[in-house]
Amino acid sequence: MMNFKIEKYYKMKTMETINYKKAQPEIGNTQKIMNVESVLVEIEIVDDIRYELYRDTNGGTVRVFDIDSGEVVTIVRYQNFLKAKEAYNKAIYIGN
């Protein structure tokens, strides 16, 4: 029997991938990320990997998307937007 948390995570990740394949968000677009209304504020593409930085009322989220496979690689939410921005910049630096 599959653990409920794992099953819930799998469903969430699958929905994120399906929603993302429909249309790639643009800067200024609002969408729900991890059930939090967020605004896309920055995008960087390095070697067919798309790095996205979102801002919400309480913090920020960094989402990394593999353009070739059409799947979300990681999503990490931060309680502080500056921490999210630091993580976003670090992910891009490592990706280069």
> In terms of CATH architecture, what is 4-95?
2-Layer Sandwich (3.30)
Q: Give the range among 23-27, 52-56, 62-66, 86-90 with minimum mean pLDDT.
A: 23-27
Residue 41 has pLDDT above 60, yes or no: yes
DSSP-derived pairing of the beta strands 49-55 and 60-66: antiparallel
Pairwise CA distance, residues 52 & 88, whole Å: 8
Q: Would you state the torsion angle of the CA atoms of residues 17, 51, 90, 32, taken in this order, to the nearest 10 degrees?
A: -60
**Could you tell me the residue ranges of all domains in the chain?**
4-95
Q: Which amino acid is at 56?
A: D
Residue with tokens 């599959």: 2
User: pTM here?
Assistant: 0.74
